[in-house]
Amino acid sequence: MSQTKILFVCLGNICRSPAAEGYFNYLIKQENIKDKFIVDSAGTSAYHEGSPADGRMMSAAGERGYKLESISRGFNSKSDFSSFDLIITMDDDNHADVISVSPSDEAEKKIHQMVDFCTKHDVSEVPDPYYRGVDGFELTLDIVEDACEGLLEKLLNGELNA
């Protein structure tokens, strides 16, 4: 059976992309379809490589019933483009950074903006909560959860080629 491989990408890989990875894994576990997906996350910078998700993000996600278990790593243009079917970026800067290292037009087709999958939030980016208070983490999770649900729905309905 073929698995869809999804990589979520933000700047440091300690807030937004681990939240997306954690929530998407939570969703597919709830739907009993975890075996159909491989989910990972990475950062366009390697500032926090080897670190767990930000404690504030882990706490906020935990309050909502899911865990963030990823370890930060940098985006690797060689292996990530060849390994993943979908590369989902959190903001315009991450999107531009990933596109700038795309090895081909075909590889570039794998890159999508996270907010394009939102069904409840009309926003242009997933905001980085790092320098914002608790409300910033809650807003980021609201948007990430909305987008993950929309992404999964599109994948299950065959509306997204992966």
Which two structure tokens, joined as six digits, stand for 82?
């060849």
- d(C-alpha 10, C-alpha 54), whole Å: 13
Q: Is 16 an annotated catalytic residue? A: yes
Residue of 80, 128, 146, 148 with catalytic role: 128
The active-site residue out of 10, 15, 118, 148 is 10
15, 16, 80, 148: the active-site residue: 16
Q: How far is CA 38 from the centre of its chain?
A: 12
Contact yes or no for 73/13 (Cβ under 8 A) = yes
CA separation for the pair 13, 34 (Å, rounded):
22
Which residues are annotated as catalytic? 10, 16, 128
